[in-house]
Structure 1
């Protein structure tokens, strides 16, 4: 039967895949995932270069490219592009990839598109931990903020899971409890800010808007190293979490340990949120939107597809940061605005399916 005849009869013979085999490893990559990943990489590249041409010092698109590839270009242009603006774009890519991967992990764990760290409170817990470290303890270095974000996120995750536990952890109960814990931590953060000096409150409020404008290579290098370690540790989740989505019994029968997998996934997901929160502040809704957008683009039945997932998050943050520069606002303001519209649409579609 020809391809045209198959298409006419509407028979699905599976997705085309690129198979890679070695003596020890073999894996298959769907063609659609490769195409989507390539398109997203082009979006990141084009908008990244375009964003480096925006600013008080006027640099054309072509001059940006020359400044990146030619060390002998005009020194002023190279300093502006390579030393000041290039780290910002790399941070946008890093933050987007980390948040998207974290969102994919938690949405796969909860088997719910609302199960992102923004909704279930882990991001707010990380923000609360950094606020304590910055405002109460007066420690404003990246390592202390990273430690505060990680501890705050993990403690919040533990509280949410304990409160949501009733024999088993229901995804709906987890989301509801997470929303309540998130609201409580948000109130505590506000109480801390109104209880300290105006200078400290303004410092924390500026950081809380979510901005990558003042970040450079000094902050990028340690953040990239941490992200690389966490991303490598998360690679097995690309295989085990989709299996876990079928249920604990099926996962156990297929050789996946549910408890151990959930614990590892939770720690790595919180670590990714903490990494971004410590460096740039809370950049909301990327973890919520990126997994769902990636899943629809690749037409898969799971939010865990690491390459297109992370590229989707990177594209969202890079485009949002370009818009933020044109509007003279922090990138977190743009992502909140876009994410609020997306959340309303997601809730409406969820309600329509149940009606």
Structure 2
């Protein structure tokens, strides 16, 4: 049953890719195909990173509502970005090479995420709920500090922060694709290698221990992978709070009670369809100026509220 559903999703994705590459094309195909192909590659890279990090994070927290973005990763990115512009100045930040900005953002974001959640894990050990609640509190703190710094910087520098603080699918730095693909590819390879261990971790701490798994070590390994994937995708296109929650929730509906070997590809395919199909419709069919991230956050927010209310009613 599940292989047929994955094949069906792959067929829909192929249609979306064909539409994205060909609809509304004018001029030389020698220019159009490489130009759109680079953006398509970036969208596919995000479609690989975001749902994978969300599935892994939900597995170790055993909670289908929480995602890295909701836990404060996006708020941490905006804080680091604001702090860099506050220290360096808007003009100096803009003058940095694009690859330099990307590496700096990824390095600081991943380092801060590992310090934060690694410290929480070392202190809480098996108390994963303590880590979750503390992470949410830190997310609120990050947003408060960010707001304070944004009120202290020059309005022109604040404009630089604003431009880089929102997801941007129509304006992607294609020069970053190679380094982003390498970093994400390494993390994705480790995530796929852990797919069977993730099935064990999802059974709970005691059961996983009885089956020979070491939950503390595995959880730390998963957090490293999650930090890498979220850092790369966020630095490449900007933060999208509810994308992971939306596509993973749909993946659970398409493949209920499936193993991670099925759930991960399903979530990736749904995310790719959402990004590529949505961008195609908004740009080429409806000719709307509304960013895709706004639509995704609107739908994802509705899904989040639905899951929250469903959990409260049980």
Q: TM-score, normalised by structure 1?
A: 0.76
Structure 2 residue ranges without an equivalent (≥5): none
| Contact kept? 1:161, 1:174, Cα under 8 Å | no
**Residue by residue, what CA displacement relative to the aligned partner does 1:293-313 show, whole Å, maximum 9, x if unpaired?**
212211225667322222222
Q: What is the rounded CA distance, in whole Å, between the counterparts of 2:68 and 2:59 in structure 1?
A: 12
Q: What is the rounded CA distance, in whole Å, between the counterparts of 2:217 and 2:211 in structure 1?
A: 14
The structure 2 residue matched to 1:248, chosen from 180, 205, 220, is: 205
The structure 2 residue matched to 1:49, chosen from 7, 13, 18, is: 18
**Structure 2 residue 182 is matched with structure 1 residue 213:** no
Equivalent residue for 1:202?
A: 159
What is the Cα deviation at residue 245 of structure 1? 1.9
| Contact kept? 1:294, 1:308, Cα under 8 Å | yes
**Residue by residue, what CA displacement relative to the aligned partner does 1:118-176 show, whole Å, maximum 9, x if unpaired?**
111123223322333355332463344344344335424543565685563233x4333
Q: What is the rounded CA distance, in whole Å, between the counterparts of 2:18 and 2:82 in structure 1?
A: 33
Equivalent residue for 2:9?
A: 40
Q: What is the rounded CA distance, in whole Å, between the counterparts of 2:125 and 2:295 in structure 1?
A: 40
What is the Cα deviation at residue 48 of structure 1? 2.9
Structure 1 residue ranges without an equivalent (≥5): 1-30, 61-73
Q: Which has the larger radius of gyration?
A: 1
**Structure 2 residue 292 is matched with structure 1 residue 331:** yes
**Structure 2 residue 65 is matched with structure 1 residue 103:** no
**Residue by residue, what CA displacement relative to the aligned partner does 1:242-263 show, whole Å, maximum 9, x if unpaired?**
2012223322332322121111
What is the Cα deviation at residue 53 of structure 1? 4.8
The structure 1 residue matched to 2:30, chosen from 33, 56, 78, is: 78
How do 1:183-198 residues align onto structure 2 when only pairs under 5 Å count? 183-198=140-155
| Matched pairs, number | 303
**Residue by residue, what CA displacement relative to the aligned partner does 1:209-259 show, whole Å, maximum 9, x if unpaired?**
210222254222221222211111212321112201222332233232212
Q: TM-score, normalised by structure 2?
A: 0.85
CA root-mean-square deviation: 2.5
Q: What is the rounded CA distance, in whole Å, between the counterparts of 2:124 and 2:183 in structure 1?
A: 35
